[in-house]
A and B are shown apart, each in its own frame.
Chain A
């Protein structure tokens, strides 16, 4: 029974409070929010490498700046027309460099934001999950490939959905189409790796072409997931891939089990060179899967990750169709 001696229970009793608001609720389609990323937490002290790189950067900018100033000054000494031309050329060069630098920084910022959210989401509380997924959606909304998917996600997300609901809907409406695009990119790259290996006259050329195609694949996958890396972003991605999964080692180890993956019967039907090409394709596919797992803004849930055997077999089917 509820008594005065039991204040906690009394507080938890149902109750109704009248408000000043009137009118029926309108629970039509929710407005699409424009979430913004929370700022990164401030670090106590900058790292030594960051201090060193900043100092060196200032040195380079200073030296180049002084050189350019002298160059323009010297040009003006030869005549106003030559000076103006030099100033224009320097301005164009500096503008181009700034544009490139801005694009690089934006790419790098997007990459880091995605990485931060990717780290936060698995451990997020239910109440934190929705804003964090909204932040990922905000990043992907700028991606022309996925903007429509993000719009669909926002259109179906309603205020009563929980964080887990939002994650499920985001996976279903945004990440699933992105995964399909990424897999299509992997299949294309694997097919090209197959062809490169088949026609390449030397091992060195084969290796160079494979590396170039692999780099392009990684950038394609990063773009699919809204990261659009520039040079710095690509280097960062490669570092992450290499450190995270032991890129080359992983690919080679996987190569060791290729016979199991492909099945003895398939290998018997292929010539020795075709088997080597299939191996190259499989390596490329494996690399693509690692890149997918690394670039995806939200980690794969159990049973969600595409399988290597599925990709390889679809590739082999394509190859056999072409041969047939």
Chain B
């Protein structure tokens, strides 16, 4: 008697190859998460039976993707990623970039493909990859490290930071207010609300005036949907060394709200984000930070390292699947690679790799696969040359948002390592935002990009094998 009947072999293929991959798209505000998800979904939907825009994805190059469809999320609590609206916005004339994400959204993509492995080829049939991608406001990521911090520790670190560098000037009103309302004064919800308002204004100024990144709590800048806004009415308070918040004091009120915020707001988000995640892409707008100056650059680096401590890396194994999944592939990607000419994209990639050297080591120690790249989810420029003071230089050419004449943009020299103190000149405040190129509203040609396909092959290549 034959154990394996030929007509059951395709089902065996599905059993062996069907898989769900949860991809965490991680990035600070403005890093390009929405553009990445849009381009990824659109290009995979357009890649059925043709290499299209993704020649570096083995499954598309080998024409093994047979069908792709966007599904509705199973969870009713998370809204569907608005791929249609985003594409319509990008394809409009004039186009506009989608607005910043204000709440949690999910894109579910299902890819039916022919397996390339020996068993798949022998057994015939097809397999399915279900890809789940979460989109959320980048600011919220900065809340994750709060889960392992006490109110007192967080207050101490935040106040120390607020008294240094560019923050010091912006924090003056808030710190003066705290000086008038010390931590051991009697609790007063109205004082707490005003202190929160001043702290929030300080965070907002840090972002808009100094382009700083490490701004906690993230919901103070992008609140999303919160049923009880009083949960947010807190801020760091100075504690004496060794002191504890006295019952009935301002510090005790703030601490209670901080803990409530963690429990009611941060923990559910972390559960959604980190549960079952197998792959992670960390998007970083390195170029903008580089142009924003030394402090903004250092702050972005610190924010990244802080965020990444919340994620668990490790090789995929059965035991780990039973006792908590880990991320077995991490890709660090410097976004907006279309803002630098071809020769400097290697620099950008090297700079990215150097910036995340510490998290990379941690991931590698846990036997996760790690890589760094430079990518542009939606390519908005083409390469060209220009002559600057008699020297021929490589530039990128594109149409700036809101403009009607194309510009040649020379981005300066991108260093391959985090720059030393002597590197920093005046902040370059005119960093251009380019209009997206012409994109057809109907699927087919996909979205032009740089290295998105290499990123996808790294993240999903084995799942599509």
The answer to whether A265 has its CB under 8 Å from any CB of chain B is: no
Contact of A169 among B55, B426, B435 (CB under 8 A): B55
Contacts of A19 in B (CB 8 A): 397, 405-408
The answer to whether A12 has its CB under 8 Å from any CB of chain B is: yes
A144–B51 Cα distance when bound, in Å, is: 21
Tell me whether A172 and B61 are in contact in the complex, defined as CB-CB below 8 angstroms, given that A11-B388, A13-B428 are known contacts. Answer: yes
Contacts of A14 in B (CB 8 A): 291, 409-412, 428, 430-431
The answer to whether B391 has its CB under 8 Å from any CB of chain A is: yes
Per-residue interface assignment for chain B, residues 330 to 359, with 1 indicating a CB less than 8 Å from any chain A CB and 0 otherwise:
000000001000110100000000000000
A152–B50 Cα distance when bound, in Å, is: 9
- Main DSSP-derived SS at the B contact region: loop
- Chain B: minimal CB distance from A238 (Å): 36
A2–B450 Cα distance when bound, in Å, is: 32
Tell me whether A25 and B51 are in contact in the complex, defined as CB-CB below 8 angstroms, given that A12-B413, A16-B409 are known contacts. Answer: no
Is the Cβ of A27 less than 8 Å from the Cβ of B407?
Answer: no
- Chain B: minimal CB distance from A140 (Å): 17
Contacts of B381 in A (CB 8 A): 25
Contacts of B379 in A (CB 8 A): 27, 160
A52–B431 Cα distance when bound, in Å, is: 67
A245–B435 Cα distance when bound, in Å, is: 56
User: A residues 1-43 with Cβ under 8 Å of B?
Assistant: 1-2, 9, 11-29
Is the Cβ of B412 less than 8 Å from the Cβ of A27?
Answer: no
The answer to whether A168 has its CB under 8 Å from any CB of chain B is: yes
Is the Cβ of A17 less than 8 Å from the Cβ of B432?
Answer: no
The answer to whether A194 has its CB under 8 Å from any CB of chain B is: no
Contacts of B408 in A (CB 8 A): 16-19
- Chain A: minimal CB distance from B462 (Å): 17
Contacts of B388 in A (CB 8 A): 11, 15
Contact of B407 among A2, A16, A156, A173 (CB under 8 A): A16
Contacts of A11 in B (CB 8 A): 388-389, 391
Is the Cβ of A21 less than 8 Å from the Cβ of B405?
Answer: yes
Per-residue interface assignment for chain B, residues 26 to 39, with 1 indicating a CB less than 8 Å from any chain A CB and 0 otherwise:
00000000000000
A20–B382 Cα distance when bound, in Å, is: 16
- Chain A: minimal CB distance from B438 (Å): 5
The answer to whether B437 has its CB under 8 Å from any CB of chain A is: yes
Contact of A25 among B55, B382, B389 (CB under 8 A): B382
The answer to whether A62 has its CB under 8 Å from any CB of chain B is: no
The answer to whether B365 has its CB under 8 Å from any CB of chain A is: no
A25–B437 Cα distance when bound, in Å, is: 5
Is the Cβ of A16 less than 8 Å from the Cβ of B55?
Answer: no
Per-residue interface assignment for chain B, residues 44 to 66, with 1 indicating a CB less than 8 Å from any chain A CB and 0 otherwise:
00000001100110000100000
The answer to whether A155 has its CB under 8 Å from any CB of chain B is: yes
Contacts of A168 in B (CB 8 A): 56
> Other CB < 8 Å A-B pairs besides A25-B382, A158-B448, 17 of them?
A1-B424, A11-B388, A12-B413, A13-B425, A18-B405, A18-B406, A19-B406, A24-B438, A25-B398, A25-B435, A27-B438, A28-B445, A152-B51, A155-B51, A160-B379, A162-B342, A173-B61
- List of 5 A-B pairs having minimum Cβ-Cβ separation, nearest first: A156-B55, A2-B425, A27-B448, A25-B437, A14-B412
